[in-house]
Structure formats: C-alpha cells, structure tokens
C-alpha cells in the first residue's frame, strides 16, 4: 500500500515539475511499468538525441532500485548492448557495519 501511494505521489511530481529534458509516464495505466524520454544534453555527443527508456519498478521499491533499460540504441560505456545500465555500484549488497 505504501509503495503504491509513494509511486503515485512521485509520478504526480514528475508530471507537474519534471526535471529539465525528462518526461515520464505510466505504461497502459500500470503503476510498476513506466516509460521515460530523455533529451540529450547540450554540448555533449548526445545533443539533439531523444532517448526512450523502459522502467520497471520492483515490488521492494524503494528499498530496491527500478530496472531501467534504454529502448533507443545508445553508445555509452555504462550501457550494455541490450540497453541496460551496467554499473557495479548499483548491484552491490548493503554494507554491514561492524561496531
């Protein structure tokens, strides 16, 4: 229940106050499947590019990050050939603190 209300609140915020160059919406009214579009940044190799993304929100959100995949082909060292973000830091287990 908290997950659904948080997602609705975050989607509402994205609709009313989107970050510059980013739009995000629900796919077919499903709360856990989203689509997004990012405009390439000025003065970068991606300038004038329009990049479509698929976002899947896991059941354990916000304790587990969404799975994001570029649907638009993109060349970037941290994006694999299937469009998935491949940063090891996103896959590390939580650190256990020894006191």
**Residues with a known catalytic role:** 86
User: To which H or E segment does residue 49 belong?
Assistant: none
Q: In whole angstroms, what is the distance from residue 54 CA to residue 34 CA?
A: 6
Q: In whole angstroms, what is the distance from residue 80 CA to residue 69 CA?
A: 9
């Amino acid at each position: 229940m908290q997950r659904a209300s948080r997602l609705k609140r975050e989607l509402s915020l994205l609709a009313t106050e989107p970050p510059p160059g980013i739009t995000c919406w629900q796919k077919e009214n499903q709360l856990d499947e989203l689509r997004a579009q990012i405009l390439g940044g000025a003065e970068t190799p991606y300038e004038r590019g329009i990049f479509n993304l698929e976002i899947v929100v896991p059941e354990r959100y916000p304790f587990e990050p969404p799975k994001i995949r570029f649907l638009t082909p993109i060349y970037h060292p941290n994006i694999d050939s299937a469009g998935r973000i491949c940063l090891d830091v996103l896959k590390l287990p939580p650190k256990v603190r020894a006191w």
